[in-house]
Structure 1
Amino acid sequence: MNKKTQHLTKKEFFLKYEKKELVGQGAFSNVYRIVEHKSQKEYCLKIQSCKGIEENGKNEIETLSVLNHPNVTKLYEMYKIKNKMFLVMEYAKGGSLMDLIEEKSRFTETEAAFVILILLKALKYLHSKNIIHRDLKPENILLMNSCDITSILITDFGFSKFLQENEYTKTFCGTATYMAPEILKQEEYDTSVDIWSTGVILYLLLSGLPPFFDYSIPLLHRKIMNGKLYFPKEQFSTISKRAMKLIKHFLKVNPKERITIDQALKNTWLLKKSNEFIKQKLQENKQLENGQEMNGTKEKPKLNK
């Protein structure tokens, strides 16, 4: 598909695609599920005003235009129609990781480790392209299929930024619960802010709660900048010390002391638990296949001799 901006009329666009239901909404954009008439493939259509692109969406378009990773949402086509941009993107029908967290309450260590491993690999790719996400959170992590964490997509690059090696930025942005202390302190920062957000997500997956919370945003900011971690017995009594230790490495207030992606990808707990998850899934798939074969055998009619 063509990633260069194409010019069509609205009528011409909808001769190619059929617009279905609204699946998301922002200040300057609406997101729909669409179906290509010719192939019957499902896509996600983000209709964004040019004003919105000037203020927030330019980063997203520039970022998605250069990315190609199995766990990063794909931008397939761009159309300029009057004063709006039509972005045809990958469609994830399974909802968000936050939807699944709310449904499950908490994840097992094997499930959480697998999700974090996938996120870290995707972040390593983004950072190798000199891109910081800056708004990594479960709402911006989509599932290709419902309840299936083996196929997740990082999405929403509205706050993303290109940052060269040894370069820093100072923009105040993100979602309060997942923001790194250095952003809140309005200090210069780099890609390590995404590592902090990953730690917040790991804590949330294992406990069902964020590591720092307050109804007052200023007090929440203060707690994050202080960085004092608590592991309540009610939520963490069954969680291993190694899992909690990794969380502490992710959530170091000083970014220079924070674990790096390469270090995290070698973490013993992460590798062991994610491998256990993979083995469990393979076993489940094998049992499912065996069950289907047995059912198939039972359903075969007996031939009269």
Structure 2
Amino acid sequence: MSEQFNKHYEVGQEIGRGRFGTVYRCFSCRTGNSLAVKTIDKSLLADSYDRECVEHEAKLHRIASRENPHVVSLHDSFEDESSIHLVLDLCSGTDLLDRISSDAPLSEPEAAALAAELLEAIASCHRRGVAHRDVKPDNVMFDMNGKLKLADFGSAAWFGGLDGEEKMEGIVGTPYYVAPEVIAGRRYSEKVDVWSAGVVIYMMLSGRAPFDGESAADIFEAVLRGNLRFPTRIFGSVSSMAKDLLRRMISRDVTRRFSAEQALEHPWIVSCGGSKLMV
């Protein structure tokens, strides 16, 4: 760890690993609070694109997490010759993927409550001009109080806010959750996050992904076809309101796809997920 980091924090045990580095528990020397530090090994950054993503991660994460209770907070960042260190909220609970794997299908009230918190996180990011671009259950964490927190801004991009006209490009994300316009190589908007969130909600209600395949290429083909189905044996007891929201979020036509704000106002979210929280 860098000398500056060691002045302020004490490193504990390893709690996770990713493509570019390792996450450790750490402790604030000033407060004693438990936090997490994501240490990114610069030697693992394969090219200039990887380096650019990492350099932008801290800046965009800080913007996205400002006064946003459903985004993992970035408390500090440090850099030395070999590594970049990001000090984050410690999310000691399970992630949403674990919950889906063990409990799916979730009841509609539970799924809607989680969907409302996830959409709050995404809408707040979009109001600040940040697109996450890798919304998936393993990037949705829970803190020790069970509050949902959107994590990992390693693929995030700046698009200039809801009144901006900047489009994004580049194939990023995870096959099951990535929007078709990303796969097609077109320039795209922040609504890619809404598609991904819709896939997450579909999985909460069914325990399966809407677009599947034996390989990444097969999954991409299924996503590009965008043939959204609700098998009766799985969705027979799911309300028409829930399915209506999914159709409006997982829409190939971006002009008809809901924004995160519109999804928050949908009757299924309002009636099942609770009233809208302003962040």
- TM-score when normalising by structure 1: 0.82
Counting only pairs closer than 5 Å after superposition, residues 86-165 of structure 1 correspond to structure 2 as 86-145=85-144, 148=146, 151-164=147-160, 165=164
Give 2:51's aligned residue: 54
Residue aligning to 2:197:
198
Shift of 1:28: 2.1
Residue 258 of structure 1 aligns to which amino acid in structure 2?
R
Deviation at 1:37, TM superposition (A): 4.0
The residue number in structure 2 matching 1:41 is 33
Going from structure 1 to structure 2, the CA distance change for 1:43 and 1:219 (only over 3 Å counts) comes to: same
What are the superposed Cα offsets for residues 180-225 of structure 1, whole Å, 9 maximum, x if unpaired?
0101111110011001001101100000111111112222111111
Point out 4+ residue stretches in structure 1 off by more than 6 angstroms.
none
Q: Cα–Cα, structure 1 residues 81 and 108, in superposed 2: closer, same or farther, change >3 Å?
A: same
Mapped partners of 2:84, 2:122: distance in 1 = 27
Q: CA deviation at 1:55?
A: 4.9
How much does 1:125 deviate?
A: 1.1
- Equivalent residue number for residue 289 of structure 1: none
Length-normalised TM-score, structure 2: 0.89
1:181 aligns with 2:180: yes
* Residues 26 and 262 of structure 1: CA distance in aligned 2, closer, same or farther (over 3 Å): closer
**Residue aligning to 1:217:** 216
One-letter code aligned to 1:20: G
Offset from partner CA, 1:153-199 (integer Å, 9 cap, x none): 11111110001212212211110100001011111100110010011
Shift of 1:59: 2.2
Cα 1:17/1:258, change in 2 over 3 Å: same
Contact 2:74–2:88 (CA under 8 A) maintained in structure 1: yes
Provide the residue aligned with 1:66 in structure 2.
63
Q: Classify the secondary structure of the residue corresponding to 2:84.
A: strand
Distance 1:21 1:235 in 2: 41
Deviates more, 1:47-56 or 1:84-93: 47-56
Structure 2 residue runs of 5 or longer lacking an equivalent are none
Q: Percent identity?
A: 27
Instruction: Tell me how large the CA RMSD over aligned residues is.
Output: 1.9
Structure 2 Cα separation of the partners of residues 8 and 178 of structure 1: 36
Give the CA deviation at 1:19. Answer: 2.1
Q: Structure 1: state its 5+ residue gaps.
A: 1-6, 277-305
Is residue 80 of structure 1 aligned with residue 79 of structure 2? yes
